[in-house]
Chains A and B, each alone.
Chain A
Protein backbone atom coordinates (compact mmCIF):
# COMPACT_ATOMS: atom_id res chain seq x y z
CA UNK A 1 0.00 0.00 0.00
CA UNK A 2 0.86 3.69 -0.10
CA UNK A 3 3.30 5.17 2.41
CA UNK A 4 3.69 8.93 2.95
CA UNK A 5 6.68 10.39 4.75
CA UNK A 6 6.51 14.00 5.98
CA UNK A 7 9.29 16.33 7.20
CA UNK A 8 9.97 18.13 9.41
CA UNK A 9 7.83 17.04 12.35
CA UNK A 10 8.15 20.52 13.90
CA UNK A 11 8.92 23.79 12.14
CA UNK A 12 9.37 27.14 13.88
CA UNK A 13 9.60 30.30 11.76
CA UNK A 14 9.50 34.02 12.42
CA UNK A 15 6.31 35.82 11.53
CA UNK A 16 6.60 37.09 7.98
CA UNK A 17 9.11 34.44 6.91
CA UNK A 18 8.34 31.49 4.62
CA UNK A 19 7.70 27.90 5.66
CA UNK A 20 8.26 24.77 3.59
CA UNK A 21 6.97 21.28 4.42
CA UNK A 22 8.04 18.29 2.34
CA UNK A 23 6.43 14.91 1.69
CA UNK A 24 7.39 11.82 -0.26
CA UNK A 25 5.09 9.02 -1.37
CA UNK A 26 5.81 5.45 -2.39
CA UNK A 27 3.03 4.46 -4.82
CA UNK A 28 3.63 5.84 -8.31
CA UNK A 29 -0.08 5.31 -9.08
CA UNK A 30 -1.10 8.04 -6.62
CA UNK A 31 -2.52 11.02 -8.48
CA UNK A 32 -4.19 13.25 -5.88
CA UNK A 33 -2.27 15.13 -3.18
CA UNK A 34 -4.19 17.30 -0.70
CA UNK A 35 -2.87 19.28 2.25
CA UNK A 36 -4.91 19.61 5.44
CA UNK A 37 -4.55 22.06 8.31
CA UNK A 38 -5.62 20.95 11.79
CA UNK A 39 -5.79 23.39 14.67
CA UNK A 40 -5.66 21.99 18.20
CA UNK A 41 -8.83 20.07 19.01
CA UNK A 42 -10.43 20.84 15.65
CA UNK A 43 -11.20 18.98 12.46
CA UNK A 44 -8.71 18.74 9.59
CA UNK A 45 -9.54 21.25 6.85
CA UNK A 46 -8.36 21.20 3.25
CA UNK A 47 -6.17 24.17 2.39
CA UNK A 48 -4.91 23.22 -1.07
CA UNK A 49 -4.62 20.17 -3.30
CA UNK A 50 -2.82 19.20 -6.49
CA UNK A 51 -3.36 16.48 -9.07
CA UNK A 52 -0.68 14.60 -10.93
CA UNK A 53 -1.26 16.41 -14.23
CA UNK A 54 -0.11 19.69 -12.66
CA UNK A 55 3.33 20.62 -11.37
CA UNK A 56 2.44 23.61 -9.26
CA UNK A 57 -0.63 25.29 -7.81
CA UNK A 58 -0.93 28.54 -5.92
CA UNK A 59 -3.63 30.11 -3.78
CA UNK A 60 -2.69 33.49 -2.32
CA UNK A 61 0.11 32.82 0.24
CA UNK A 62 -0.01 29.05 -0.18
CA UNK A 63 1.55 27.01 -2.97
CA UNK A 64 2.11 23.33 -3.58
CA UNK A 65 4.65 21.75 -5.95
CA UNK A 66 4.71 18.18 -7.22
CA UNK A 67 7.60 16.20 -8.67
CA UNK A 68 6.15 12.94 -9.99
CA UNK A 69 9.52 11.55 -11.04
CA UNK A 70 10.97 11.92 -7.56
CA UNK A 71 7.61 11.17 -5.92
CA UNK A 72 7.65 14.16 -3.66
CA UNK A 73 5.50 17.21 -3.10
CA UNK A 74 5.89 20.30 -0.95
CA UNK A 75 3.79 22.97 0.73
CA UNK A 76 5.05 26.53 0.68
CA UNK A 77 3.57 29.24 2.90
CA UNK A 78 4.85 32.78 2.36
CA UNK A 79 4.51 35.81 4.65
CA UNK A 80 3.53 33.60 7.58
CA UNK A 81 1.05 34.95 10.10
CA UNK A 82 0.17 33.88 13.67
CA UNK A 83 -3.02 32.21 12.44
CA UNK A 84 -0.90 29.85 10.31
CA UNK A 85 0.18 28.09 13.52
CA UNK A 86 -1.29 24.57 13.36
CA UNK A 87 -0.47 20.98 12.40
CA UNK A 88 -0.27 20.43 8.65
CA UNK A 89 -0.80 17.02 7.05
CA UNK A 90 0.05 15.96 3.54
CA UNK A 91 -1.82 13.06 1.99
CA UNK A 92 -1.93 10.97 -1.16
CA UNK A 93 -4.47 8.80 -2.92
CA UNK A 94 -5.26 7.19 -6.24
CA UNK A 95 -8.42 8.51 -7.81
CA UNK A 96 -9.93 6.36 -10.53
CA UNK A 97 -10.56 2.91 -9.15
CA UNK A 98 -13.31 3.45 -6.62
CA UNK A 99 -11.27 3.36 -3.42
CA UNK A 100 -9.73 6.80 -2.96
CA UNK A 101 -9.20 7.02 0.78
CA UNK A 102 -6.27 9.20 1.80
CA UNK A 103 -2.94 8.03 3.21
CA UNK A 104 -1.66 10.77 5.49
CA UNK A 105 1.79 11.77 6.63
CA UNK A 106 2.49 12.09 10.34
CA UNK A 107 2.08 15.84 10.34
CA UNK A 108 4.18 18.97 10.81
CA UNK A 109 3.60 21.24 13.77
CA UNK A 110 4.14 24.74 12.40
CA UNK A 111 4.92 27.38 15.01
CA UNK A 112 4.91 31.05 14.02
CA UNK A 113 7.10 33.10 16.33
CA UNK A 114 5.98 36.73 16.80
Chain B
Protein backbone atom coordinates (compact mmCIF):
# COMPACT_ATOMS: atom_id res chain seq x y z
CA UNK B 1 0.00 0.00 0.00
CA UNK B 2 1.13 3.58 -0.58
CA UNK B 3 2.61 5.32 2.42
CA UNK B 4 1.88 8.68 4.02
CA UNK B 5 2.78 11.42 1.56
CA UNK B 6 4.06 14.81 2.66
CA UNK B 7 5.14 17.91 0.80
CA UNK B 8 7.29 19.83 0.49
CA UNK B 9 10.29 17.82 1.70
CA UNK B 10 12.29 20.93 2.53
CA UNK B 11 11.41 24.57 3.17
CA UNK B 12 13.52 27.55 4.11
CA UNK B 13 11.77 30.76 5.18
CA UNK B 14 12.62 33.93 7.02
CA UNK B 15 11.24 34.55 10.49
CA UNK B 16 7.83 36.17 10.54
CA UNK B 17 6.92 34.60 7.20
CA UNK B 18 4.19 32.00 6.86
CA UNK B 19 4.46 28.42 5.67
CA UNK B 20 2.13 25.50 5.01
CA UNK B 21 2.70 21.76 4.95
CA UNK B 22 0.53 19.17 3.27
CA UNK B 23 -0.16 15.56 4.21
CA UNK B 24 -2.00 12.78 2.42
CA UNK B 25 -2.56 9.81 4.75
CA UNK B 26 -2.78 6.16 3.85
CA UNK B 27 -6.12 5.40 2.23
CA UNK B 28 -8.73 4.39 4.77
CA UNK B 29 -6.88 5.75 7.78
CA UNK B 30 -9.32 7.71 9.90
CA UNK B 31 -6.78 9.07 12.36
CA UNK B 32 -4.17 11.64 11.40
CA UNK B 33 -1.45 13.18 13.55
CA UNK B 34 1.01 16.03 13.15
CA UNK B 35 4.26 15.82 15.11
CA UNK B 36 7.15 18.28 15.46
CA UNK B 37 10.63 16.75 15.71
CA UNK B 38 13.38 19.13 16.76
CA UNK B 39 16.90 17.96 15.95
CA UNK B 40 18.13 15.43 18.49
CA UNK B 41 14.74 14.93 20.12
CA UNK B 42 11.77 12.61 19.83
CA UNK B 43 8.65 13.67 17.92
CA UNK B 44 6.21 15.85 19.86
CA UNK B 45 2.49 15.62 19.15
CA UNK B 46 0.95 18.85 17.87
CA UNK B 47 -2.55 17.77 16.86
CA UNK B 48 -4.66 14.65 16.30
CA UNK B 49 -7.64 14.37 13.96
CA UNK B 50 -10.28 11.65 13.88
CA UNK B 51 -11.81 11.91 10.41
CA UNK B 52 -12.26 15.69 10.05
CA UNK B 53 -12.64 16.46 13.75
CA UNK B 54 -9.93 17.54 16.18
CA UNK B 55 -9.39 15.03 19.00
CA UNK B 56 -6.39 16.63 20.71
CA UNK B 57 -4.70 19.97 20.06
CA UNK B 58 -3.53 20.63 23.61
CA UNK B 59 0.13 21.01 22.54
CA UNK B 60 -0.51 23.11 19.43
CA UNK B 61 0.73 26.72 19.81
CA UNK B 62 -2.54 28.15 18.62
CA UNK B 63 -1.31 31.74 18.45
CA UNK B 64 0.76 30.80 15.39
CA UNK B 65 -0.05 27.23 14.35
CA UNK B 66 -3.23 26.03 12.70
CA UNK B 67 -4.27 22.78 11.08
CA UNK B 68 -7.23 21.47 9.21
CA UNK B 69 -8.40 18.23 7.69
CA UNK B 70 -11.19 19.04 5.32
CA UNK B 71 -13.26 16.09 4.12
CA UNK B 72 -11.42 13.81 6.54
CA UNK B 73 -8.59 12.94 4.16
CA UNK B 74 -5.75 15.38 3.37
CA UNK B 75 -4.49 17.76 6.02
CA UNK B 76 -2.55 21.02 6.09
CA UNK B 77 -0.51 22.49 8.91
CA UNK B 78 0.23 26.21 8.82
CA UNK B 79 2.61 28.40 10.77
CA UNK B 80 2.07 32.17 10.76
CA UNK B 81 4.27 33.96 11.67
CA UNK B 82 7.25 31.61 11.93
CA UNK B 83 9.89 31.93 14.65
CA UNK B 84 13.46 30.66 14.68
CA UNK B 85 12.51 27.96 17.22
CA UNK B 86 10.03 26.47 14.74
CA UNK B 87 12.95 25.00 12.80
CA UNK B 88 12.25 21.27 12.90
CA UNK B 89 11.00 18.31 10.91
CA UNK B 90 7.21 18.20 10.74
CA UNK B 91 5.98 14.63 10.57
CA UNK B 92 2.53 13.51 9.57
CA UNK B 93 1.31 10.08 10.67
CA UNK B 94 -1.89 8.14 10.14
CA UNK B 95 -3.56 5.02 11.50
CA UNK B 96 -6.77 3.05 11.11
CA UNK B 97 -7.85 4.09 14.59
CA UNK B 98 -7.17 4.04 18.29
CA UNK B 99 -4.29 1.89 19.36
CA UNK B 100 -3.45 0.86 15.83
CA UNK B 101 0.01 1.25 14.33
CA UNK B 102 0.82 4.81 13.32
CA UNK B 103 2.61 5.09 9.97
CA UNK B 104 4.81 8.14 9.49
CA UNK B 105 5.53 10.18 6.40
CA UNK B 106 9.02 11.30 5.38
CA UNK B 107 8.45 14.68 6.97
CA UNK B 108 9.01 18.29 5.95
CA UNK B 109 12.26 19.83 7.16
CA UNK B 110 11.63 23.50 7.98
CA UNK B 111 14.47 25.93 8.48
CA UNK B 112 13.61 29.41 9.75
CA UNK B 113 16.39 31.98 9.25
Binding site for B on A (CB under 8 A): 1, 4, 6, 32, 34, 36, 42-46, 49, 51, 89, 91, 95-96, 98-107
Binding site for A on B (CB under 8 A): 4, 31, 33, 40-45, 48, 50, 55-56, 58, 91, 98-99, 101-107
A43 engages B33 (CB within 8 Å): no
B10 to chain A, nearest CB (A): 11
Partner among B50, B102, B106, B107 whose Cβ is within 8 Å of the Cβ of A102 = B102
Partner among A43, A45, A49, A107 whose Cβ is within 8 Å of the Cβ of B42 = A107
Partner among B31, B44, B58, B105 whose Cβ is within 8 Å of the Cβ of A104 = B44
Contact partners of B50 in chain A: CB under 8 A: 98
B45 engages A101 (CB within 8 Å): yes
Contact partners of B55 in chain A: CB under 8 A: 98-99
With A44-B104, A45-B104, A101-B48 in contact, do A89 and B43 touch (Cβ < 8 Å)? yes
